[in-house]
Amino acid sequence: MAGATRWGGTEDLEAQRKKEKEEKKRLKQLKQQQAEAEAAAARERKEEEESEAASRPAKKRKLSTSPSADANGSSMTEKRKLLRFQAGGWGPCRNISNFETLNQIEEGSYGWVSRAKESATGDVVALKKMKMEYAQDGFPVTALREIQLLQASKHQHIINLREVVMGDRLDDVYLVMDFIEHDLKSLCDTMSEPFLASEVKTLILQLTSALSFLHSHWILHRDLKTSNILLNNRGILKIADFGMARLTSDPPPTNLTQLVVTLWYRAPELLLGATTYDSAIDMWSLGCIFGELLSKEPLLQGKNEVDQLTKTFSLCGLPSDTSWPAFRRLPNARALKLPRDPGNAAHGIIRTKFPFLTTSGCSLLSSLLSLNPDARPSAEDVLNHAYFKEGPKPKPTALFPTFPSKAGGEKRRRASPHAPVRGEVAKGLGDKEIDFSGIFAKRDEEERGAGFTLRMG
Ligand SMILES: Nc1ncnc2c1ncn2[C@@H]1O[C@H](COP(=O)(O)OP(=O)(O)OP(=O)(O)O)[C@@H](O)[C@H]1O
Ligand SMILES: [Mg+2]
């Protein structure tokens, strides 16, 4: 018994030691496994960070040379964000039969827009039927971009894309958007008086905040004009029509489409054939819209590219090597005959054209309409401009007047050019020399901006 007890005791001890040894081994293994798992996770994290850094565009070059941009430029750069496109799941689009058409609103270059009611909810929406006739190779790239960029641009002042629905055929694609009562073009056409200064300020601030969002997310709109800017009856503005929009990078791609932006809102670098451009093209259009809201009339109504350039130079002055060092390198610059020293004869034309605009309003408008894209302010600079801080203060949206909606019952009619047709090649300025040397020669005796001669050849 005793032996058994003793031996038994030794056996117990032996068994205990063995157990402890096994436990130690198990713990060691566990530790090793943990360490391996941690190392693998760290590796994965590193790889993820590296691939994100590789896909992130380089920081944006500062666009403006204005002092306020100097102060804000770097912080603006840091604020640029990556767009997160929804990976989304696969699922069928709903059918157009869920909607009941109420009335047609407008046929544009890229689609037909109508007002409709969603049968299940009674919600009134705008339906844009995408035009597929420019599709050479499947679904048109403009339609894809419009859907993708609208989905990614959720902002109070950008039209809300609710969903995409299909008709019975594969090329029957509709965008379902919130319905907005007016566009600024129809309003300007029907109002008897232009917007008040306080209203213009509110509209420009809303528009610029959406632009700041787009540009900080690397999106160029490339077709800003009053007919693409919607306004609801509560004074809230929304940018619409992303049919020409695209993503950009820094430095900007070198082979961008030259034929973008509706003629009257097209920046001079585009008219001169630039294929590398940046968000400054949208800032030019913003300047044109600012002028149009103040006077109720489109600012630069060219009949063709040459006429557009002529009207631009008569309002903003001629380009010179000092004011716009890069302009001579643009493809169409060779076609221009300019005076040796263009001076600043145009200085003050904007002031004369807008006699009720304050000095700081004039300085904002002139800077947006700088021929040199690098001299135009960024959207962020505009938001911080003194013009919006001086009286009259921007009008609160709740106090905005309401207007009867044209889209509520009838087609919106307008007499302005459509957006350029994708795939068409820019006509350029022709191969004859365009003589601008006498453009301001007799300015003193003439009415503002008029009276120059345009000689072909
Ligand atoms: N969500 C909406 N709510 C109400 N009206 C709208 C809406 N979206 C567009 N519209 C109206 O339809 C018109 C044409 O729409 P949009 O600009 O998107 O089409 P488009 O074919 O690209 O036009 P364009 O080429 O002429 O610029 C707008 O000018 C506006 O009047
Ligand atoms: Mg449009």
DSSP classification of residue 131: P
Q: Kindly indicate the confidence band of residue 426, based on its pLDDT and cuts at 50, 70 and 90.
A: confident
Q: Which residue's structure tokens are 């129809």?
A: 186
Section 414-435 average pLDDT: 72
| Percentage of the chain modeled with pLDDT above 90 | 56
At residue 49, the pLDDT reads 60
At residue 51, the pLDDT reads 52
The CATH superfamily of 183-441 is Transferase(Phosphotransferase) domain 1 (1.10.510.10)
**Mean pLDDT, all residues of the chain:** 82
444: Cα within 13 Å, side-chain hemisphere: 0
How far away, in angstroms, is 263 Cα from ligand 1 center? 17
At residue 66, the pLDDT reads 41
Query: CB of 177 closer than 6 A to ligand 1?
Result: yes
Residue 406 structure tokens: 């044209």
At residue 451, the pLDDT reads 30
Residue 452 has pLDDT above 60, yes or no: no
More confident position, 445 or 31: 31
- Do 96-177 and 183-441 share a fold? no
Query: CB of 174 closer than 6 A to ligand 1?
Result: no
Residue 413 has pLDDT above 90, yes or no: no
Ligand nearest to the CA of 243: 1
Element (H, E) at 312: helix 305-316
Residue 222 has pLDDT above 50, yes or no: yes
Residues 229, 236: Cα–Cα separation, whole Å:
10
Residue 394 has pLDDT above 70, yes or no: yes
Residues 118, 339: Cα–Cα separation, whole Å:
61
At residue 55, the pLDDT reads 45
How far away, in angstroms, is 411 Cα from ligand 1 center? 11
Query: CB of 278 closer than 6 A to ligand 1?
Result: no
Residue 209 has pLDDT above 80, yes or no: yes
**How, if at all, do strands 336-337 and 434-435 pair?**
parallel
Domain 96-177 has CATH 3.30.200.20: yes
Backbone CA torsion sign across 104, 233, 285, 192: positive
Q: Which residues are catalytic?
A: 223
Kindly list the distances between the CA atom of residue 88 and the CA atoms of 50, 91, 162, 224, in Å, as whole numbers in the listed order: 24, 9, 15, 29
pTM of full prediction above 0.95: no
How far away, in angstroms, is 128 Cα from ligand 1 center? 8
Contacts of the segment 188-195: beta carbons below 8 A, 24+ positions apart: 188/226, 188/292, 188/293, 188/296, 188/297, 189/414, 190/403, 190/406, 191/296, 191/403, 193/296, 194/293, 194/294, 194/295, 194/296, 195/293, 195/294, 195/296
Strands of the 237-239 sheet, one edge to the other: 182-183, 229-231, 237-239
140: Cα within 13 Å, side-chain hemisphere: 20
At residue 33, the pLDDT reads 75
Identity of the highest mean pLDDT range in 24-33, 79-88, 139-148: 139-148
Q: Kindly indicate the confidence band of residue 74, based on its pLDDT and cuts at 50, 70 and 90.
A: very low
Query: CB of 230 closer than 6 A to ligand 1?
Result: yes
Segment among 197-206, 312-321, 380-389 with least mean pLDDT: 312-321
At residue 27, the pLDDT reads 79
Between CA 146 and CA 85, with CA 124 as vertex, the angle to 5 degrees is 30
What is the residue extent of each domain of the chain?
96-177, 183-441
At residue 344, the pLDDT reads 61
Question: What are the φ/ψ torsions at residue 182 (nearest 5 degrees)?
Answer: -135, 160
